[in-house]
Amino acid sequence: MFIPIFLAIPLSDDHKPNRKDEQMRIENAGGRVSYDGFTWRVDGILAMSRAFGNRGLKKYVIAEPDIQEAEVNDDLEYLVLATDGLWDVVQNEDIISLVRATDGTEAAALKLTELAYSRHSSDNITCIVVQIHH
């Protein structure tokens, strides 16, 4: 009997200031990375090392993302785009299980944001679920 295996494949890595490469980039630009007892922050303010719209930290917090490419083939069912408020508290495998068990992408996105909220996510929670039709 064939049992299908469904994998959740992450296409990005969080841009957090505690990553050694990000910390080095920030400090080389003249910024500092510190731990406030709860999370790592750039200049004691921002918990992300790459972001849009942080004018005061623009020298250290860049908007340039790491880019990865993945081939879209018949195995791809869903693409989940979300903020770190979801990824910080829900594992990739749990996300794909919930999405596959939910009827419709809008309902799945809502359930994922509710799940992150119920797990006391301390960040903004935004989620888009895209179903790939072949």
Summarize pLDDT for 27-43 with one digit per residue, the tens: 999 999 999 998 899 99
Residue 127 has pLDDT above 90, yes or no: yes
Angle at which helix 92-101 crosses helix 105-118, to 10 degrees, equals 140
β strands within 2-113, DSSP E: 33-35, 40-42, 78-82
pLDDT at 5 (0 to 100): 61
In one letter, which amino acid is 19?
R
Instruction: Report residue 78's pLDDT band, with 50, 70 and 90 as the boundaries.
Output: very high
Question: Mean of the per-residue pLDDT values for the chain?
Answer: 89
pLDDT at 64 (0 to 100): 86
Residue 131 has pLDDT above 80, yes or no: yes
Both tokens of residue 19? Answer: 């990553």
The average pLDDT across 49-72 equals 85
The average pLDDT across 48-67 equals 86
The average pLDDT across 56-85 equals 87
pTM of the full structure: 0.77
CB 46 within 8 A of CB 57: yes
